[in-house]
Structure 1
Amino acid sequence: MNAVEYLLDIVVKNKNREFLIDCQSGEYLTFGKLHEHACSIAQDILNKGLKKGDRIAVLLDNSIDTALLYFGCLYSGIATVPINPVYSREEINFFIRHSGVSIIVVSENTIEKIQIESLKSNGTKILQLVQNDKKQTEEKTIDFWNLRNLKKVNEMFQPFRYVRPDDILTIIYTSGTTAQPKGVVHRIGSLIDNAKLFVKELDINSTNRFYGILSMTYLGGYYNLLLLPYVAGASVALSKTFNAQSAIDFWKPAITYGVNTLWLVPTIISILLKIDRGKNGEKFCREKVKCALVGTAPLPIKLRKDFEKRYGVILYENYGLSETLFISTNSPKVSRQEDCVGRVLPGVQVTIFDNSVKALPYGEEGEIYVRTFSLMQGYYNSENRGADSIDNTKWFGTGDIGILTVKGDLSITGRKKDLIIRGGINISPMAIENILHNHPAIEQAVVIGIPHEILGEDIVAVIKLKEGNNFNEVIGSIKEYSRERLGTACDIGQFFQIEEFPLGATGKILKRKIKEIVAQKLELTIAPQKNGLRERRGEIHN
């Protein structure tokens, strides 16, 4: 059974079961109803003149309608280009132009993020989702689109009629910090088959109900919390995208709608530990949560332990890239190793290479290379309107540094672009950060390298203090603490305090921005990075 057949089989087996629950309105949608809506949307898309392989940009907040649109595109063979509304207007319009979409779908909340006249002049059609039918404006600047009130599906219509597993499902733009973002192209088969592997490893099934708190316009919310639960026959309580304000009532929707499966990211964990003052979350997690997953960014050991201790759940960390999808995961099947992102998934191969691309023995540290059937088709090329094809039978360099055991357990020790070379010695910022996170006054720490005339690079720690701590009063204790636990090679040259770390659209800390801030303070010139992680990704070796 191929990926397309598998998707249709899910509908047959789960037709009357709940799949989506809207935490705002309380609306429930079964697998069968989702299928009906997806068919009518697919038919309407094709009636608009689009054909298989065309692209639709999705600039929407989390909602059932957003999910319906994704499945309608899937059923009709139209590739989606999800765009996170938190991006700047300039970034959003770059994604639209670069991907060459025929249509962009917006809402009343997101339409202000696009340059309407510019898009119309380029022939890009703008559709605004509405709940109730509206009269079209005389200027016809935009067209209104009510996904719930479309023409009845023609009896001759067949979902997936011309769609194959190798067809493009989505183009996900990575957030660039040193270069322009790249469009990661994934096929239907790679996403669905990778999801099947993952849910099997974690025993995720129809009894799991996820909490949809990540944005549906990047892989965290679109793949991890929509497609993957669908593949498992599970359900999703769909909420607004998580932010600091929603953290105050974070547990209420989860309790109300019977959530038992969490998918968190380190930023959310950190905010919950700081803001959540009640006991409802602790009680709920201990009594109801059967599975708690975490990924998308490195999880500091102390942060994991603090969350597990407070909420009484085990966090199963996983590892993957936008380009590769899931590579490894911790699971109840395997005893968890300290500071490990899990066991490599069946069917996925991982090897550790040195700088000369020579394979290293188990237990030695080097760059992580992966060979997987779920590797992206390539990066989107705006000139030929297709992906620069990549051979998934060859090794793909991740740009991450790690160690692989003989049993297949994988640890991440750093990122190649972040390594600090001090006096000829390679130093992992992550190792230093993990030590600093254990100091009682430090809430979060980021370690970077800065130019040094003699040593080549020196070590700088940028720290965010816990509430109630004064930098001048605790810095002596922090310096002594770090000296006692770090060797002289890792001695931290300077400390800086920061109120809030700069974050990207997906909540990841932007180290490049931190380097720029430190450089300004020290009046340094930070040269453009060469062979950084984003440039290294995509490097293929036999």
Structure 2
Amino acid sequence: MNSRVATSNAEALDVTRTLGSESPDLTPLDLFHNHLAQNPHTIAVRDDRDNALSRKELWELASDIKDDIESRGLTAGDVVVVCMPNWTEWMATYLAVVRGGMVPATLPITTDPKSIAYTANLVGAKAVILPRTHRGRDFTAESTTLAEELGRFLHVLLLDGDHRTRAWRTFDGPPVIVPEYPQGMAHILFSSSTTGKSKAIAHSEASLSAYNESVIERYGVTGDHPIFMPSPLGHSTGFWHGARMSMMTGATLVLQDSWDPHRALELVDRHHCAITVAATPFLKDLVDTEWHSYTPKLNGMRAFLCGGAPIPPSLIEQAQNQMPGTRIGSIWALSEGGATSSLPDDAPDLVARSCGRVMPGVVLETITKQGIIAPRGTDGEIVMRTPSLFLGYIGQDDLYRDSFTSDGYFRTGDTGIVDQDGYLRLTGRLKDLIIRGGVNISPVEIENALAGHPQIVKVAVVGRPDDRLGERICAVLQINGTPPTFEEILCWLDSRDVPRRLWPESIRIVTGMPQTPAGKIRKNILREMISEEKA
């Protein structure tokens, strides 16, 4: 046995006993159907619009949508992009796709139409599911932009947020070119890469369930109490720890679409939610929100797991004072696979200085610059082997091959230290990605747009440290002539259709860029420069 596996055989076996002792091949669909048969009238999902669906109602709505999709000629194995808000309809459309044997490719609702088109083309999607409207966006109009950008045949299903009406738009053009899919593919997640384009991350049912089962076992998640999910279901966090975990355990899923910390406290209090997984800024907002009640904040919630950014010790202390019944924990994963989480009884100081302990079956190491496994306690690039590891990047075979060491470890691109007990402490990252509120943002698209500005000589976009979000987007500019104002920079990006979520939140004017001998900008030095300034 590999001595580097920092978990016990007993813990690994307990996971199997929890969910798979009778049939280890049961999928979330199978498990949900079992829960449906046992109690069809239990609420399966509710959202912050006060909409709710029982298991029976969810199953029937999913059946209608499945039939609707199949009537358009889609069959098992076809890929369908699901880009829906955190509504009860998200679960219905997802369940419909899965029940039809099709492969869901899930995107957050904030994705702009050109990016939806790029991902749909990358994975060979034959249909895209969208809301008709959401937060002022007209998706009927945006679907035209999507189709024009895609330039091929496509079905678009538009849903009203009332469970009642649906409408199809079919766009003519050349037939879809279906890429080669990894064998056993059951789901596609998306994540930004250093190239500025999304990676299409293919998972099998086994890899998805391996991560789910580890979290469910470690935190004793059952169907007795609801799961609260404010993270987008189209993102890996919401998908894994919201949609799938609720289907597997039978727990009611309580969704929040529009983030409002006070509303979140009300939802958790009203529905007695037991667990959530969300980015650290969500916890920060809950701590900073006034709460006038006889009960403490998050009353009844046993665990709040923070991912995407380290948890400052002061925030943990504040949270434990305001939420005495809630254990604050850390969880670390990539869309490619899960790796670590705090244990329920970890002390606050251990939570603050680590990303938790490796999950059952996970081997986590660091490597030297030469790619050699380093001794425990050595700071280096984090590599891993995990049963939850993805199958491949669709349409990006070279990127997939380059993501592994010669001896088969997946290279995470982050740097850190793994101690003798299997606890991970992050120290940095090799990538240039900005992690804002737990969301990876590539600077490439912003830099490319700003590079065309007539007054900008050189540009580098980096993350400025921020207490709440972890990082905020900062554009460092070397200027020729009169510096443009911040407002002028934003207008420039707007005129070039750069999505608002990528706009800088501050700019820094410099007289020259620190560079390598080869002329590459030293972003590490820029980060140090702006981190010393007040935001």
Answer yes or no: same fold by TM over 0.5.
yes
Matched residues in 2 for 1:253 and 1:358: separation?
A: 49
Equivalent residue for 2:155, pick from 125, 144, 154: 125
Matched residues in 1 for 2:267 and 2:353: separation?
A: 32
Matched residues in 2 for 1:112 and 1:304: separation?
A: 44
Deviates more, 1:389-398 or 1:67-76: 389-398
- Confirm or deny: 8 A CA contact 1:19 1:235 kept in the other structure: yes
Is 1:305 paired with 2:347? no
Matched to 1:250, the amino acid is: A
Deviation at 1:333? Answer: 5.0
Is 1:187 paired with 2:224? no
Is 1:279 paired with 2:292? yes
Deviation at 1:348? Answer: 1.0
1:446-457 map, 5 Å: none
Deviation at 1:42? Answer: 3.4
Is 1:199 paired with 2:212? no
Matched to 1:98, the amino acid is: L
Pick closer, same or farther for the CA change 1:180–1:343 going to 2, 3 Å: same
Pick closer, same or farther for the CA change 1:184–1:344 going to 2, 3 Å: same
Q: Any idea what the Cα deviations from partners look like across 1:128-178, whole Å, max 9, x if unmatched?
A: 1134766979xx6689xxxxxxxxxxxxxxxxxxxxx96322222213465
Matched to 2:513, the amino acid is: L
Matched residues in 2 for 1:116 and 1:349: separation?
A: 41
Equivalent residue for 1:322, pick from 309, 328, 335: 335
Please state whether the residue corresponding to 1:172 is helix, strand or coil. Answer: strand
Deviation at 1:332? Answer: 1.8
**2:391 maps to what in 1?**
377
Pick closer, same or farther for the CA change 1:524–1:311 going to 2, 3 Å: same
Q: Any idea what the Cα deviations from partners look like across 1:273-309, whole Å, max 9, x if unmatched?
A: 34x1223497142x42222211133333333333233
Pick closer, same or farther for the CA change 1:7–1:248 going to 2, 3 Å: closer
Matched residues in 2 for 1:135 and 1:398: separation?
A: 41
1:85-124 map, 5 Å: 85-109=109-133, 110-114=139-143, 115=145, 118=148, 122-124=152-154
Equivalent residue for 1:403, pick from 398, 417, 421: 417
Deviates more, 1:108-117 or 1:405-414: 108-117
- Confirm or deny: 8 A CA contact 1:128 1:142 kept in the other structure: no
Is 1:259 paired with 2:273? yes
1:63-82 map, 5 Å: 63-82=87-106
Matched to 1:193, the amino acid is: A
Deviation at 1:98? Answer: 2.4
Equivalent residue for 1:394, pick from 387, 393, 408: 408
Matched residues in 2 for 1:334 and 1:271: separation?
A: 23
- Confirm or deny: 8 A CA contact 2:89 2:163 kept in the other structure: no
Deviation at 1:13? Answer: 4.2
Pick closer, same or farther for the CA change 1:57–1:206 going to 2, 3 Å: same
- Confirm or deny: 8 A CA contact 2:291 2:297 kept in the other structure: no
- Confirm or deny: 8 A CA contact 1:85 1:113 kept in the other structure: no
Pick closer, same or farther for the CA change 1:388–1:123 going to 2, 3 Å: farther
**1:444 maps to what in 2?**
none
Deviation at 1:461? Answer: 9.8
Equivalent residue for 2:234, pick from 197, 205, 217: 217
Equivalent residue for 1:365, pick from 379, 391, 401: 379
Matched residues in 2 for 1:260 and 1:33: separation?
A: 24
Equivalent residue for 1:18, pick from 43, 56, 77: 43
Pick closer, same or farther for the CA change 1:135–1:333 going to 2, 3 Å: closer
Matched to 2:340, the amino acid is: S
Pick closer, same or farther for the CA change 1:55–1:207 going to 2, 3 Å: same
Q: Any idea what the Cα deviations from partners look like across 1:30-59, whole Å, max 9, x if unmatched?
A: 2x4434444444344334321222111122
Equivalent residue for 2:363, pick from 334, 337, 349: 349
Please state whether the residue corresponding to 1:413 is helix, strand or coil. Answer: strand
Matched to 2:199, the amino acid is: K
Equivalent residue for 2:430, pick from 406, 416, 423: 416
Deviation at 1:525? Answer: 7.0
Matched residues in 2 for 1:396 and 1:201: separation?
A: 24
Please state whether the residue corresponding to 1:182 is helix, strand or coil. Answer: strand
Matched residues in 2 for 1:212 and 1:8: separation?
A: 22
Please state whether the residue corresponding to 2:513 is helix, strand or coil. Answer: coil
Please state whether the residue corresponding to 2:238 is helix, strand or coil. Answer: helix
Matched residues in 1 for 2:75 and 2:404: separation?
A: 27
Please state whether the residue corresponding to 1:249 is helix, strand or coil. Answer: helix
Deviation at 1:354? Answer: 1.2
Percent identity between the aligned chains? Answer: 19
Pick closer, same or farther for the CA change 1:463–1:191 going to 2, 3 Å: closer
Matched residues in 2 for 1:273 and 1:297: separation?
A: 16
Pick closer, same or farther for the CA change 1:104–1:227 going to 2, 3 Å: same
Matched residues in 2 for 1:418 and 1:383: separation?
A: 21
Instruction: List gaps (5 residues or longer) in structure 2.
Output: 1-22, 134-138, 173-181, 436-461, 469-485, 491-500, 525-535
**1:438 maps to what in 2?**
none
Matched residues in 2 for 1:404 and 1:348: separation?
A: 12
- Pairwise CA RMSD: 4.0
Pick closer, same or farther for the CA change 1:531–1:202 going to 2, 3 Å: farther
- Confirm or deny: 8 A CA contact 2:297 2:322 kept in the other structure: no
Matched residues in 1 for 2:242 and 2:511: separation?
A: 43
Instruction: List gaps (5 residues or longer) in structure 1.
Output: 144-164, 420-428, 431-459, 467-497, 503-508, 533-542
Please state whether the residue corresponding to 1:402 is helix, strand or coil. Answer: strand
- Confirm or deny: 8 A CA contact 2:330 2:341 kept in the other structure: yes
Matched to 2:507, the amino acid is: I
Q: Any idea what the Cα deviations from partners look like across 1:297-329, whole Å, max 9, x if unmatched?
A: 3333333333233332321111111112x2011
- Confirm or deny: 8 A CA contact 1:57 1:82 kept in the other structure: yes
- Confirm or deny: 8 A CA contact 2:128 2:156 kept in the other structure: yes
Is 1:524 paired with 2:510? no
Deviation at 1:396? Answer: 0.5
Matched to 1:128, the amino acid is: L
Pick closer, same or farther for the CA change 1:112–1:299 going to 2, 3 Å: farther
Matched to 1:216, the amino acid is: L
Deviation at 1:120? Answer: 8.2
Matched to 1:292, the amino acid is: F
TM-score scaled by length of structure 2: 0.68
Pick closer, same or farther for the CA change 1:50–1:305 going to 2, 3 Å: same
TM-score scaled by length of structure 1: 0.68
Matched to 2:327, the amino acid is: I
**1:489 maps to what in 2?**
none
Pick closer, same or farther for the CA change 1:73–1:85 going to 2, 3 Å: same
**Count, aligned residues:** 421
Is 1:169 paired with 2:169? no
Is 1:331 paired with 2:348? no
